[in-house]
Structure formats: structure tokens, C-alpha cells
Amino acid sequence: MQQVNNSCCFLFLRCFATVLIGVVCTANVWAQGVVAPAFISERVANDSDDPAIWLNKNNPSESLILGTDKEEDGALYVFNMQGKIIADKTVRNLRRPNNVDIAYGMALQGRKVDIAVVTERLGNRLRIFSVPDMQPIDNGGIAVFEGETSTDYRAPMGIALYQPVGSNRLYAIVSRKAGPTNGTYLWQYLLEDDGRGNVKATVVRKFGKYSGRQEIESIAVDAELGYIYYSDEKEGVRKYYADPEKGNEELALFGTTGFREDHEGISIYKIADGTGYILVSDQGANRFQVFPREGSGGNPHSHPVVKVVPVQARESDGSELLNYPILPHFPNGVFVAMSTDRTFHLYRWEDIAGNDLKVEPPNTNINAPQLSAPANGSTSLPIAPLLNWQTVQGADAYQVQVSSRADFSTTVLNQSVRSANSLQLSNLAYSSVFYWRVRAVQAAQNSAWSSVWSFTTIAPPRPELTTPILLSPANLAAEVSVTPTFSWRAAAGADTYQLQIASDDNFQDVEFEEDEIATTTLQASSLAYSTTYFWRVRVMNSTDSSSWSSVRRFTTIAATLVPALASPADGATRVPVTPVLTWYSLENEATYQVQVSGRFDFSATVYDQAALTDTAVQISELEPSTAYFWRVRAQTATQTSDWSGVWSFTTLPVSSVELPPPALVAPADLAGNVPVSPTFSWRSTAGADAYQLQLALDEEFENVAFEESNLTVTSTQTTSLQIETTYFWRVRAMNSTDSSSWSAIRSFTTTAGILAGTLAGYWELDEGSGRLLLDASGNGNNATSTGNPAWEEGISGLALRLYRSNQHVRAPHAPSLNITETITLAAWVKPEERTTQYIIKKAVNGEKDGYELSLASNGKVFFRFNQASAKDKYRVNSSTSYPRNGRTWMHIAATYDGRVARIYINGIENSAKEFSNPPAIATNTLPLGIGAESDGSKNLKGTLDEVRVYNIALSASEILALTKLPVPGPSATDTTTEDLVDVPDLEQETLRQPELAQHLLLYPNPFYSTATIQFVLRDGGAYSITLYDSKGAQVNKVLQGTAEAGKQHTAEVSGEGLSNGLYIVRLQSAQGTKSVRLMLNR
């Protein structure tokens, strides 16, 4: 160990290049004389490489420096803050240890442990030791870069640890001796307790560009700002987000010039306000280049060099920097750099900073917390009280102690709390006095203890409570409101009551639950129409709860809805004289009456037809160049709805000069392997003002899949066609007075799309006879039907209709159907009833864990796994209801990626739920039930088609590619994604702008109280959402703000104070506007 007297000199470099001590410096960059260290460590045995600093949480002067000795029989040396080796802490017999980093407070078997992680290059693994005792906690080492075959691709070098602020997660980012240039050079691992007090690691992402010029060794993490920096040697410093959920976009590449040889060690000087410095070793020049941590010019990813610091350390590789006062030698922080003479140099930060960098150590005077609740001396507290205290500025965590003794000689609780100023206790003794106190922890320093407060717990619980007696609704009551009031008799000893409403008498599907009801009545909200429910109540007090009351049953009233008009859009022009009018179907068994008139008051009609069973009608020839008005109402056997809103359209003028049809260009006729988002093009037609494109699933264009009019250019792109599907397309020209005949028809077939080998089972249900149903996945999971179900026309080919209770399908158990990690379930369904119906299920309720995609009796779609052991803990429900009229198809799908389960309706994500530490999906030997449980119970009453099971979680675009919506006709869901209309007084809007919103969804639609808006802006930026009435008058501003590019955002429209009828929701941003119709119907 050597203590060195440091002296510095400073020079300001002008705008011309100047050579100073062998280093070229540029304009406006400070350089200074060679900085000497305060201490030089004792020498290691072979080859010093990378240091790390461990800050002693109780006595900073006893902090430690850890440094690697990079040799085949290497070691992890431990030094004190004067560079003296601590032999009994040094870890030896490591196989070429390369780099090291420190993390604080990892949770291992309920205790907080500081750790050091070292890359062992010749062992292809990480070694992990507890600090400061330096004991191994890695079960012999953790293998990294598994699956790579090249020796250098397996050999780890750099290491950086990342603890997100306010989170208990801990990540290790690891580089290697050599790697690919495809953006996966670095691997990021999640470090966790293996349950036995050792650390395990799981790969969570692979990222990082690499120039291919040298190697990547040094990595540094700025946890407070959330960034990773690493040196691509001979290229520059690359910057990425540290959070793996934020993606793999490279944010910056800086320091690309001015380095003599390699870019090596990176260290960060952090100031509490988010500013500071990034120091990068310019190895061949014996200096460090300094860059602004916060960026420059308002750009957080712009990092110009601001200073060059020559140091005595020779050819420095690794470095570390700690902005914390370590007295007496480092009052403003310490900078440690490796030197090729087998030492590490310890510098005072103020010597590195000179006169032109900030010297701002943190305030280490941390106040003791002030206790808030329960008040000192409180009595009759529950045995699980909530402790609260006031937040202390600068505190990273709090230590809480609870004791039955005022001197805390023993404790009943001694726990650390992060990112909160409260703690929920549990299972304290009854009728007992407890004392509690809190202290704040800032980095490594603890505050003094707070004052000591006491409280006394309640007496033991009272005798068992009696169950309440239910009053209303009466058992078996019918025509009950969807917002009913429930009442029951008071029970002696009750403090509060708990009410449950379920769609089954076993209460496995609880639809409504309310706790802590202080009275004996409660009004429920928004139950489903025409649905049978079961309800029960129990008594609760501070210490106990009664058994449940008896169960009562009731059925809600049927809904009476007003039809919503679909097309032609309100105010549409140039409509054919034989138009097809369409509207959205209602879920009840309704027929429709349509009126068309030349007068707004319908005092005379040109068309008036009732008892229509379809949701579309073609009107016989109307007059050209004429404005018409139309409306629709629904009729049942007992009632007639109000008329819909009145829409208008104007017919085409009389034809003048005949236009020739366009000539098609691309895709070529009979083209194969066409992308699912193709671009269509055609040649221009003389005299044309616009063009109309149609895309269909049949050559007669009876099933139109995509249509776009008023195209002013000769090309357009569609999105998300179906995979492996043949389409037909045509174009015609239009002007203000006429339209041409259609062009020649071309066909093409789309690409296969989804990764091969992921389809575990695929039943097309196209056989048409017999019991055998073939598996088209190639896995041989052929199924058989039971009960002689019927065949009928399906979404693609034929479909299977299950209409009796004994009808179902099952595929025998096979390993390919035992899916444990990630899964996708999908099918087309056309239900005829609203009851619990299993669509795809490999499980038995209450008996065998597994997976399922099903329909609930409350009208929702749900996905669930491991129900037998976890009930509904791992379940997600749709927000949209499925149809039950036996006429409407709906595509339902569920994906699970091991963490998040998602429901898709007609190819659009409808709901999602994230699970905390979920288990694997359980395996079993049950057959796979299709349209029912494998024993035939709870079977679908309706029609089934295109059933698929994947062993991966498909992406949103892949799910969308599975859907083949029936056209024409209403959507199978009560939502709309592209239902665009012209808004009065908003004529300048361009309503069809696919570049504006990649996803715009309103549900439910029609709505009764609140509708949810989901939208995505491709390019992000400022936006506003405004609600208009059907006449174009503004009702209110729903929401405005700034959206992130590509991120889903939500807003809500409240129906409070609004009248029933049609409204327009308009989304506006700098890229344009988009309007969607919304129907309010209470």
C-alpha cells in the first residue's frame, strides 16, 4: 500500500486541436495535469482487472474494495479503504475471475444479504458471495450463456447488477469474450432465491449491438435513471434501457472519437438531482474521458465529452466510483481504477473533478422517522394492525421493530420496508401490550430510532356469530332489476356484513362481492340482463365471521335495446340507387322494422318493412341525386323498441361519361406467400377522381373481407389478413357523377405466418360425417365426437353444432397436449344459450388442475388454469359478452406467456391480467375436451369451428391473423373498431386514417352507464378525445394529454346526465382525426 500526495494542474483548450501529454483534446473540453492517487493498493499475485466498492452500512470508514486477479488460478481480493489486502476475506481458487459488481439487500430466506457477483471466465459461470463475510451463496456457481457452442461465446467477462428503484428485483447483465453482431451480445438474468438460501438465475432478455471489432467487457448501470452503458471496444459506448420490459432499442452510441485504443472501464458519478458524470477509460492514453450523465441540450441521450482526466494508473481496465463521504481520506467520494502493475489506485473525487466538475456528496444527516398511527397508547387494536409513520426525505428503506418489552431486548418483528411508510402486522397475541419503533435507512446509513410508541390488542374473539336471514329478492324471483337492492335481517354481534352474487350455486363464478357493509341493505350495480344469479350473506366482526346464509336464486329482466345503425354512414354521398342498409344485431330474439323516407319527419315513406330477421336489407331502385333518411327499430313478441337515430344519405347522380375500369398491377394474379399486410396497386384511369378497392374470400365477392372507397391514389395497404388464405381483389374507378365497372379479378394466397412446431392441436371440423375428427397439426391428436352432433356451414368449410346435452368432442391424452409454460387456445363459436359452457378444457373442476377456455353464465369469456388447487386465482374474464342468438359467430382466444393471461375477441385484445409468481400449468392424463369437459359436462349449446391449441403465446398480430370475420353482417361483439361516420360540422376531417390509430376500440357498445375507450397512436404525441351528439354539437372533452408511441391508452365515457341515443367519439392528434360511433341505451 502506498499513500500518494496528489497535485493537479489545469488547462483550458481552445477551439483548435492541442497536444497535451500525448492526448489530443478538442475545443471547450477541460484537461488537467496527471492526477495522483491518494492510495495505491498492495499488489495482487497475477493480473489486476476490475474493482468494486462495498459501502459499509453502519460504518462507512470500514467499507471494502473488491478487485479481481484475472488468472487461471485467480482470486477475488478484498482491500480496506487504504488499499491493504484483507487476507481472511480474499476468495481464492477462482478460474480467471474477470469482473465484479456489488448489490445491496438481496432477499434470501427472509433476510437481506449484500452480494458480490464475479464472472469466472474459464468456468463459464457466475460466482456469488455474501459481503462482507465473502461466503459462497451460489451452490458452486451459475452457468451462463447456455446453449452457445463456441468457447469464447460461453466465456463471461463483464458484469453489472441492476436493482430498479422501489423494486425488490435484482438483475445481472453479463457480457462475454466474443459474441454475435445480431444484437444479442449481452444476456440479462433475473437473480432470485432458489428457496434454499442460494441464488439462482433466469435469462430474461438478450440484447446489445456489437461492432465486431474487438470485444465487450465493461458494463455499468445507472439504476436511478434506468440505463445500461457498455464499452464496445474500439467503437464507442452504447446505451440501453436497463428495464427488460422497455425493449432493446439502442438509445445512444457516444465517445466514438478521441480514444487512442480501447474503450474500457465505465463508472458513474451520481448526484441526487439526476446529474453527474460518466467516466470511460481511454486505456491506451492512461486517462479517463468524462461525459455528462444527464445528457446535454435537453436531450438525455446526447453525451459529448466535457473533460479529459489523465491519471497515474497505467492502461486502466476496470474502474468504480462511489459518491459518498468515507472519512477521513475520501470526504467527497472515492474513484478506484485498475493499473497494469497489479494494483488498484484509489483517488479522491475532488482531485478527479478539479475546478470544473461538480463535487456534491449526498447529505448523510438523515432524520429519525415520526410515528403516525396507531396513536401512542391505543387500545383494542386488531391483532393485525397497520403501522404508519411519516416519510423521511432521502430514505431508501425503513427498519421496523415490534416488541413485547419496552427495552426491545427481544422482538416479535424486525423487518425492512422499502418504498412504503406503512407495515401490516399479523397474528399478534390478544389482550397484549406491544411497543414499536422505526428508523430510516439511507444507502448504507441508518438514522436514530424514532420515539417508542405502544398499543394494546383486542380481547379474544366472541362466540360464533349467527347466520343472517335473507329478505329480498325473494327466492326464485323473476324480472329483477339489473341494479337490485338486497336486504337481510340484522344478526346479533355483527359489525359488518359480506354479500356475494354468483352465476352458479357453488359460487365458483362470483360476479359481485362487497365486504364491510355497515347496514342490512345494499344495491348491486350492472348485473347482466336475462341472467340467473345466486346470492348469500354472512356476518362479520373484528375477530370472526359467521357461516354463509342459505342461498337464494333470482333472474334479471330482459334487455330492451335500440338498434344501432351501421351503413351507409350518416351523411354519406354517392350511394348507389339500390343501397344495402345494415345495422347491428341485438342479443334478444328480435325482428326489425326499417323505414326510408325523403322527409326527415317520415310523414311519407318510400320503404317501410317489418318482421325482418336479418340485420341488412337491400332497397329497390331509388331516385338518383336525392337525399334520403332512414331508421330502424326492434320488435319482440311483447314489446317494440324506440326508433334508432335518423341517418341520411344521398344517391349517385345520373351517369354521364362512362369510365373504363382500372388495370391491376400488384399482387400478381395467383401470387403465393403474400404478406398478411400487402400493398395493392393499379394503373390510373382517365377521368377518375377516386377508386374503390374490394377484397373478398370468394370470387363472387359475397364475403367481402376488406373494402375502401374514395382512394385518391393508385395504391393502398391493408393490415392483418389471415394466414394461409386465398383472397380475391378488384378495383373500380369513380368520379363525381359515375363509377366504372369492376376491374378483372385477381387472386393471391397469404403466407403461413406462425412458427412451425408450435401448433399442438388443430381441428378444422370439416369432415361432414362420421365420428372421427382429424388433427391438422400433424401431431396425431385425432378426436372423436359423441352424441351425433350436426354438421352445418362454418367460418371455413363446415362446422360442428352441439345442440343436445350429451354431445361433445374429445381428443385422447397425449404429451403434446400437456402444456405447462406458455399456451394459446382459440376457436370460433356461435352460442345459442347463456350458461357455463366449456370450449377447450383439459382439467376437471375441483379435482384436476389443467387449462381451459370457456364461456361463463354471466355472458363473459374466460381463461383459467389450475382451478382445482387455486380456485379462480389464475383466471381472466373478458369485458365483452358473447352472443347467444345462434346466428352470430365470435372468435375467442386466450394466450398465457407465463406471467400475463390475455383474452382476445374477434382478434382484438379485450382484457388481460398479470399474475404474481404463478406456478406452471399442471399436467394430467385427462383427454382434451372440445365443446365440453372431457366427460361431456357443461357442453356448448351452439356451433364450433376452427379449434386450435398452441404451445406458445401468440402475439396480438398472430391472433388477429387467425380471425376470419363473416362479412357482410354485424360483428359478433358489442364493440366496434372501425365503425367510422361523418360528423356534422366536422366535414374537413379525414376519417379513414390507418396511420393515426393502430387500434381504436370502444366497449361495451351500446353502453348503459360507462364505456371504455382503448387507443394506440403509432407515433405518439399530444391528443384529445371529444364527445359529440348526433348533430355534431360538442358534449364534453373526455380526455387530453400526451400518448407514448405504440402504447395502449384508455379513457372512459360516462353516460351520467346523457340521453339515450347516438354519440360520436372523436380522437384527434397532430397526425389527423378519427371518429367512432357510440350508442347509449339504458
Domains within the chain, CATH numbers bracketed: 2-353 (2.120.10.30), 371-457 (2.60.40.10), 470-556 (2.60.40.10), 565-651 (2.60.40.10), 664-750 (2.60.40.10), 759-962 (2.60.120.200), 997-1080 (2.60.40.3080)
Report the pLDDT value the prediction gives residue 465, as an integer from 0 to 100.
81
Residue 664 CB neighbours (<10 A)? 19
For residue 11, the model assigns a pLDDT of 32
> CA–CA distance from 98 to each of 93, 114, 198, 977 (Å)?
13, 20, 22, 55
- pLDDT band at residue 658 under the 50/70/90 scheme: low
* The pLDDT of residue 560 is above 80: no
Q: List, for residues 878-928, the tens digit of each pLDDT value.
A: 988 899 888 888 999 999 999 999 999 988 889 999 999 999 999 999 999
What is the band of 462 on the pLDDT scale with cuts at 50, 70, 90? low
Partners of 25 in the β-ladder? 18
The three cell numbers locating residue 353: 473533478
Neighbours of 205 (CB within 10 A): 19
The reported pLDDT for the residue numbered 863 is 96
Q: What angle do CA 253, 259, 261 make, to 5 degrees?
A: 110
CA distance 943 to 929: 15
User: In Å, what is the CA distance from 806 to each residue of 788, 792, 932, 953?
Assistant: 9, 18, 9, 32
DSSP string, 542-596: SS-BPPP---EEEEEPPP-----EEESPTTEEEE-SSPEEEEPPPSSS-EEEEEE
* H, E, C per residue of 824-853: EEEEEEEECCCCCEEEEEEEECCCEEEEEE
**pLDDT attached to residue 968:** 27
Find the range with the poorest average confidence among 2-11, 88-97, 507-516, 984-993. 984-993
CA-based nearest residue to 841, from 825, 828, 856: 825
Looking at per-residue pLDDT, the higher value among 569 and 724 belongs to: 569
Cell numbers standing for residue 541 = 366482526
**SS3 at position 26:** coil
Given this model, what pLDDT does residue 295 score?
Answer: 96
Which of 590-594, 899-903, 995-999 is predicted least confidently?
Answer: 995-999
How confident is the model at residue 124, as a pLDDT? Answer: 96
Which comes out higher in pLDDT, residue 980 or 1017?
1017
Is 972 a residue whose pLDDT tops 50? Answer: no
What pLDDT digit, counting tens, does each position of 1019-1050 carry?
A: 778 788 888 876 667 888 888 888 887 777 88
Give the least confident one: 164-173, 660-669, 745-754.
Answer: 745-754
**What's residue 641's pLDDT?**
78
The predicted-structure confidence for 228-266, as pLDDT tens digits, reads as follows 999 999 999 999 999 999 999 999 999 999 999 899 999
Kindly indicate the confidence band of residue 509, based on its pLDDT and cuts at 50, 70 and 90: confident
Question: Mean pLDDT, to the nearest integer, of 295-324?
Answer: 96
How much is the pTM?
A: 0.41
- pLDDT higher than threshold 60 for residue 521: yes
Whether 486 and 521 have beta carbons less than 8 Å apart is answered as yes
Q: What pLDDT score does 358 carry? A: 93
Answer for the pair 361, 332: CB distance below 8 angstroms, yes or no.
yes
Q: Is the CB of residue 579 less than 8 Å from the CB of residue 622? A: yes
pLDDT computed for residue 29 by the predictor: 52
pLDDT confidence tier of residue 561, bands split at 50, 70 and 90:
low
* Alpha-carbon distances, residue 608 vs 389, 565, 595, 631 (angstroms): 72, 16, 4, 10
Looking at residue 1063, its pLDDT comes to 79
Q: Note the pLDDT tens digit of each residue in 370-402.
A: 999 999 999 999 999 999 999 988 788 889 999
d(CA 502, CA 505): 7
Pick the residue with more confidence: 1023 or 972?
Answer: 1023
pLDDT of residue 122: 96
Q: What is the pLDDT of residue 585?
A: 74
**870 φψ region: left (φ > 0), alpha (ψ -120 to 50), beta (else):** alpha
* φ, ψ for residue 835, nearest 5 deg: -155, 170
Task: Give the rounded percent of residues in the chain with a pLDDT score beyond 70.
Answer: 90
Residue 573 has pLDDT above 60, yes or no: yes
- Which of 180, 307, 320, 190 is CA-nearest to residue 242? 190
Question: Is pLDDT at 18 greater than 60 in this prediction?
Answer: no
pLDDT of residue 776: 86
CA angle 808, 814, 817 (to 5 degrees): 75
Flag whether pLDDT at 8 surpasses 90.
no
- The pLDDT tens digits for 188-231 are 999 999 999 999 999 999 999 999 999 999 999 999 999 999 99
Q: Which of 49-53, 174-178, 621-625, 784-788 has the lowest mean pLDDT?
A: 621-625
Ordered DSSP codes for 1047-1059: -EEEEEEE-TTPP
Q: DSSP class of residue 232?
A: E
**What are the two backbone dihedrals, phi and then psi, of residue 948, each rounded to the nearest 5 degrees?**
-135, 145
Lowest mean pLDDT among 432-446, 660-674, 762-776, 809-823: 432-446
pLDDT at 10: 34
Per-residue pLDDT reduced to its tens digit, 62-90: 999 999 999 999 999 999 999 999 999 99
d(CA 711, CA 733) in angstroms, rounded, equals 9
Cβ pair 221, 160 in contact under 8 A: yes
**Which H helix or E strand runs over 880?**
strand 875-881
1036 vs 282, residue with greater confidence: 282
| Gap between the Cα atoms of 269 and 292, Å rounded | 10
pLDDT at 1072: 64
In the chain, what percentage of residues exceed pLDDT 90? 57
Which residues partner with 21 through β-bridges?
none
What pairs with residue 1034 in β-bridges?
1028
Please tell me the least confidently modeled range out of 31-40, 147-156, 331-340, 896-905.
Answer: 31-40
Higher pLDDT, 910 or 989: 910
Q: pLDDT (tens digit, 9 = 90+) per residue, 697-738?
A: 888 887 777 788 888 999 988 865 777 788 999 999 988 777
CA separation for the pair 755, 822 (Å, rounded): 14
- Sheet of strand 715-717: strand arrangement: 664-666, 679-682, 715-717
Query: What is the three-class DSSP state of 478?
Result: strand
Of 274-278, 560-564, 767-771, 978-982, the one with minimum mean pLDDT is 978-982
pLDDT tens digits, one per residue of 157-169: 999 999 998 788 9
First to last CA, the chain: 83
Which value, in Å, is the radius of gyration of the alpha carbons in the chain?
A: 35
What's the chain's average pLDDT?
86
The lowest-confidence range among 99-103, 817-821, 978-982, 998-1002 is: 978-982
Q: If you search the block for the grid coordinates 345520373, which residue do you land on?
A: 654
